[in-house]
Amino acid sequence: MSTVVFPVVKPTSTFASIFARTINVNYFHVYFPYFRLIFGVAVDLLGNFFKVKVVSSSFYNTTSTENKPKVIHRVFLLPSGIIKSMVTKRQKQILDFIRKFIAKNDYSPTLEEIKDHFGLSSVATIHEHLQKLKESGHLNRPENQPRSINIVGHETMVKIPLLGTIAAGQPIEAIEVPETITIPTGKFGEYSNYYALRVEGNSMIDDGIYDGDVVVIRKQPTAENGQTVVAIVNDNEATLKKIYREKNGFRLQPANPTLFPIYTKELEIRGIVVRIIRNLERQTEGEKAADRKLQRRVDFSWDFNGAKTKPYTHGLHTYPAMFIPQVARRLLLTYSKKGDTVCDIFCGSGTALVESRLLGRNSYGIDLNPLAIFLAKTKIKPINPKILWREYLKLLSRVKEIKNNEIKKPKFKNLEFWFKDKTITELAKIKKAIKEVKNKDVQNFLLVAFSEIVRKASNTKNGEFKLVRMKSDDLEKYNPNVLEIFKKRVEMSIKGMEEYHKDVDRNTLAKAIYGDSSKDNGIKENSIDCIVTSPPYGDSRTTVAYGQFSRLSAQWIDIFDDPDSAPGVDNELLGGRASKTLVHSLSSEYLNGALEQIAKKDEARAKDVLSFYIGLNACLKQAYRILKPGKHFCLVIGNRLVKQVRIPTDFIIAELGEKIGFTCEDIFVRNIPGKRMPIKTSPTNIVGELEDTMTKESVVVLRKTRRASYIS
């Protein structure tokens, strides 16, 4: 037994005894006049005898009452079991993460995944922690085997197929794509001989098998009298019963006195029950279902208050209601793994796509705002920063050479209303120089920086997402130095690209698609491993006007063939066109409740609201189509207020989603310290009529779980 000695300190006896109590240690205050060596041997022997370890020992001199110096030795002895369980805070966090990861995925995380979860830059630190945990007996980690971390005390689990549902006298209702369940390996032999079935009905309650339980079946064609079997009778009817051989055939006996046995001459045995997995949750869910009230929990750990939200290419361009990257990152880490293909169906400026590439996930993004797609495409594309610096410096000299008579001013309605003459000239020079850059990726990168400064240099009010002109007093004084603003912006952007270029996982693919997420955008059915998205909170007219925000930039950088079509974007987005009637077929009690209250105050507004949810429902259906079965769909959404009626969009999504075939697994609420949302929005664009927007948002976690009703 080794001796652990803390640095020698001179604690006061009060401190020593408090410390000892705190960590639950046996504390000895020993007066020991002899030298350390003998004492050390004595303590070690003591340790062996009592199965303890010395966790602290210290010598010091003191003065006795007789004024003679004495050597005092203080010893802290701890039962060896407790020593083993002493881990640092970080090691505990790592153990917890591994435990949860294994529980969720049935395999252990890689060093890379642990590193990513804790936001560390190197795996070496994780390796060190794991080594310490291994040495202290908390985990096993066979060398050179991927995903081989085992938490000590946890059995190794294996997956077996959950083939479907079995009910008395009914055919097995197979799950379209079989799910799996996890069982401990130790208890079973060759686990490919096992499968599981979910029980429906009460025919076996006296044997402790209840509705909703899962039974593990060992495949075998024969059974002994009294064993519980899966038997196929009458050609294709599967039933779970106790089997008894009778004179002329078999008796299948239910374990429920209210039911009669089945007598049959022939049957086929498909296996015997070897284990029952009780589904306590199912019972409580059943109770909840009777009085269906969805629940949200508050999770402050998702606030990310004070976190740096513009690392990498996230800071290239502002966009309304952007994800903070930390939220996208954590959702991706929780619900997808490296190598997966993920999708953001309302990708906006591409935050989730950038995070996906950094985390080793392939990704698709869809958005119906063309400027957003341009931004996303540029943000996900790594460019060598050396090339950027070189081209940028060349561009600066070129801008200075361009004469006023060489420039071409853009042509769109109200150009002079939104820009001063001098600003137009300066912007046009920069644009001309950018357009001369040969490398298309570099050109786009510079155009994104340019797009960002177009709004800054315009006559629009600072900090507004909607197009609101400055007050005339402010406007008179406003004289932006366009080139300086541009330089600052490009230099910041190149720094962001430097980080991104270094850390992006080049084995990943990312694609930003201009399209309407309520329609099929060519993404294959059952092909996506995880969807992480943040839908608009409501229609663009009365909440965030993405199109309006993007208009001037889009017009300057030639996003549209006809720049005057730019104002049409908002009408195309979710809820862009009000519904003509309040009659609908959406299956959501929460939505109906909200619509009813709003309609009492303002029927036209209720129709606006309805149109948004009709569109959203179509998007949920498309999401369901592209998602693989069993995979997660995470939506970050705010519950907006219309006419003083709070619309619980999170619950509405849960209800609509469940109707489509998702299961709602979680709804939690986070504070929005950093979300780029106006504090107040104007619901009607009428000055002075304001609604408060959210300081909180909900994260709804859905899972595609629908069962099909055929036998495989």
Q: Which is nearer to ligand SAM, 201 or 674 (CB)?
A: 674
Counting contacts by CB under 6 A, is residue 363 touching ligand SAM? no
Place of tokens 């997956």: 159
SS3 per residue for 31-56:
ECCCCHHHHHHHHHHHHHHHCEEEEE
Which CB atom, from 108 or from 518, has the smaller least distance to ligand SAM?
Answer: 518
Q: What is the rounded distance in angstroms from the CA atom of residue 588 to the CA atom of residue 579?
A: 17
Report if residue 633 touches ligand SAM, rule: CB under 6 A. no
Residue 159: CB minimum distance to ligand SAM, A: 34
Residue 175 φ/ψ, nearest 5 degrees: -85, 130
Return the residue matching tokens 């705190």.
Answer: 22
Sole binder of ligand SAM in the list 108, 351, 508, 543 (CB under 6 A): 351
Contact between 534 and ligand SAM by CB under 6 A: the answer reads yes
On whether the CB atoms of residues 303 and 673 are closer than 8 A, the answer is yes
Candidate ranges 361-369, 410-418, 420-428, 438-446; the one touching ligand SAM (CB under 6 A): 361-369
CA gap 567, 54 in Å, rounded: 76
Q: How many residues bind ligand SAM (CB under 6 A)?
A: 24
> Which pairing describes strands 627-637 and 528-533: parallel, antiparallel, or unpaired?
parallel
Nearer to ligand SAM, 510 or 573 (CB): 573
Contact, 665 vs 681, CB < 8 A? no
Decide: is 368 part of the binding site for ligand SAM (CB under 6 A). Answer: yes
User: What is the smallest separation between the CB atom of 575 and ligand SAM, expressed in angstroms?
Assistant: 8
- Asked if residue 348 binds ligand SAM (CB under 6 A), the reply is yes
Among 322, 703, 700, which residue's Cα sits nearest to residue 530? Answer: 703
Helix (H, G, I), strand (E, B) or coil at 563: helix
Return the residue matching tokens 């300086």. 484
In this structure, are residues 91 and 132 in contact, taking their beta carbons and an 8 Å threshold? yes
Stretch that binds ligand SAM, among 212-220, 228-236, 360-368, 625-633 (CB under 6 A): 360-368
Q: How many CA atoms lie within 13 A of 664 on its CB side?
A: 25
- Least Å distance, CB 515 to ligand SAM, is 7
Q: Is 104 or 519 the residue whose CB approaches ligand SAM more closely? A: 519
Binds ligand SAM by CB under 6 A, chosen from 194, 346, 412, 465:
346
Q: Looking at 199-335, list the stretches that DSSP marks H as alpha helix, in order from N- to C-terminal side.
A: 280-290, 325-335
* Residues 380, 354 contacting (CB under 8 angstroms): yes
Q: Where are the beta strands (DSSP E) in 464-600?
A: 510-514, 528-533
Task: Please identify, using beta-carbon distances, which residue of 321 and 437 lies nearer to ligand SAM.
Answer: 321
DSSP 556: H
Stretch that binds ligand SAM, among 22-30, 96-104, 363-371, 554-562 (CB under 6 A): 363-371
* Residue the block writes with tokens 């002329």: 248
Tokens of 192: 């490919």
Measured CA to CA, the distance from residue 195 to residue 219 in angstroms comes to: 8
3-state secondary structure 592-654: HHHHHHHHHHCHHHHHHHHHHHHHHHHHHHHHHHHEEEEEEEEEEECCCEECCEECCHHHHHH
Phi, psi of 158 (to 5 degrees): -130, 160
Question: Which tokens in the block code for residue 104?
Answer: 């969720």
Nearer to ligand SAM, 139 or 573 (CB): 573
- Min CB(514)–ligand SAM separation in Å: 9
Stretch binding ligand SAM (CB under 6 A), from 97-105, 493-501, 516-524, 699-707: 516-524
Candidate residues 518, 543, 579, 698; the one interacting with ligand SAM per rule CB under 6 A: 518
Catalytic residues: 203, 241
* CB-based contact 666:299 (threshold 8 Å): no
| Tokens found for residue 706 | 């629908």
Distance, CA of 38 to CA of 533 (rounded, Å): 68
Q: What is the nearest approach in angstroms of ligand SAM to the Cβ of residue 348?
A: 3
Query: Applying CB under 6 A, which part among 348-356, 495-503, 590-598, 658-666 lies near ligand SAM?
Result: 348-356
Which residues between 544 and 573 bind ligand SAM (CB under 6 A)? 546, 573
Q: Binding to ligand SAM by residue 694, rule CB under 6 A? A: no
User: Which two tokens mark 232?
Assistant: 């196929």
Q: Are 486 and 453 in contact (CB under 8 A)?
A: yes
Q: Which residues sit opposite 533 in a β-bridge? A: 635
Q: Report the C-alpha gap between 413 and 424 in whole angstroms.
A: 14
Minimum distance, C-beta of residue 502 to ligand SAM, in the bound complex (Å): 22
Which residue's C-beta sits nearest to ligand SAM? 348
Q: Minimum distance between the CB of residue 142 and ligand SAM, rounded to whole angstroms?
A: 41
| Nearest CB to ligand SAM, comparing residues 204 and 544 | 544
- Regarding 108 and contact with ligand SAM (CB under 6 A), the answer is no
- Please, what is the minimum distance in Å from the beta carbon of residue 679 to ligand SAM? 17
Task: Tell the smallest beta-carbon distance from residue 312 to ligand SAM (Å).
Answer: 13
419 binds ligand SAM (CB under 6 A): no
457: contact with ligand SAM by CB under 6 A:
no
Q: Give me the least distance between CB of 492 and ligand SAM, in Å please.
A: 18
- Which stretch, 42-50, 172-180, 294-302, 367-375, contacts ligand SAM (CB under 6 A)? 367-375
φ, ψ for residue 26 (rounded to 5)? Answer: -75, 130
Stretch of 51-59, 141-149, 175-183, 529-537 lying at the interface with ligand SAM (CB under 6 A): 529-537
Cβ 586 vs Cβ 613: under 8 Å: yes
Q: Are 84 and 96 in contact (CB under 8 A)?
A: no
User: Which residue stretch of 130-138, 142-150, 185-193, 533-541 sits at the interface with ligand SAM (rule: CB under 6 A)?
Assistant: 533-541
In whole angstroms, give the CA distance from residue 177 to residue 396.
Answer: 59
Q: Is 94 in the site for ligand SAM (CB under 6 A)?
A: no
Piece in contact with ligand SAM (CB under 6 A), picked from 245-253, 261-269, 346-354, 458-466: 346-354
Q: Is the CB of 304 or the CB of 319 nearer to ligand SAM?
A: 319
Does position 201 interact with ligand SAM (CB under 6 A)? The reply is no
Shortest reach from residue 619's CB to ligand SAM, in Å: 6
Give me the least distance between CB of 347 and ligand SAM, in Å please.
6
What dihedral do alpha carbons 680, 683, 684, 687 form, nearest 10°?
Answer: -10
CB of 549 to ligand SAM, least distance (A): 9
Instruction: Show the binding pattern over residues 273-312: x = contacts ligand SAM (CB under 6 A), - = does not.
Output: ----------------------------------------
Give, as ranges, the residues between 311 and 340 that touch ligand SAM (CB under 6 A).
319, 321-323
Scanning the structure block, which residue is given the tokens 């406007």? 475
- Binding status of residue 57 toward ligand SAM by CB under 6 A: no
CA-nearest of 404, 364, 357 to 381 is 357
Among 369, 458, 579, 698, binds ligand SAM (CB under 6 A): 369
Distance CA 712, CA 704 (A): 20
Please identify which residue in 211, 516, 665, 666 interacts with ligand SAM, judged by CB under 6 A.
516
> Would you tell me which residues interact with ligand SAM (CB under 6 A)?
319, 321-323, 346-349, 351, 366-369, 372, 516-518, 534-536, 546, 573-574, 615
